[in-house]
Amino acid sequence: MLTSAGVEAEAVRPNVDEDAMKAGLRAEGLPVRDQAMRLAELKAVKISQRRPGLVIGGDQMLALGDEAFDKPKDLEGARDHLRKLSGKAHTLETAIVVCENGEPVWRHLARPKLTMRPLSEDFIEQYVEQVGDPLLSTVGAYQLEGLGAQLFNKIEGDYFSILGLPLLPLLDYFRIRGVLPS
């Protein structure tokens, strides 16, 4: 997304044990949005300690009420996600943190709300068979930019945040910092 928006960026793996971190944050009883923000910050800080310049860390978690959803482990898990989300509204807690020299300098949390239409068991089965393994790379077992658009009857929030990066606020921050022309 950044490259398409004209921003030079390099993807770097932070080598963070997200599962262990999530387990600890959940044991603390943190709300899902705070879990996403902490994970985004951890990733950005870890890389920023090793690399110069501005480092963006991000994380997106799905909240159905107080319940956090992780990426499904397999296609049966994807079916379970869709069954639980069917006919309900959920929030995508989409956090980004920008760090410099190992310190957070900016953060943003977008909270798009998506309402999934009621799904029949037949529809879920067809959808999972048609899309397949790419469903395992998303917390909700859907990709809005493809067939996943058929799952919803209402969306509140910006498209980029749903895809995982609150791009417009980030571009504004880059303009303030002089990274992009204003």
Per-position DSSP letters for 85-125, written without gaps between them:
HTT-EEEEEEEEEEEETTEEEEEEEE--EEEEPP--HHHHH
59 is catalytic: yes
Task: State the residue for tokens 């880059």.
Answer: 174
Handedness of CA 153, 159, 4, 9 (dihedral sign): negative
Catalytic residue among 17, 19, 34, 59: 59
Reduced to 3 states (helix: H, G, I; strand: E, B; else coil), residue 32 is helix
Cite the active site residues: 59
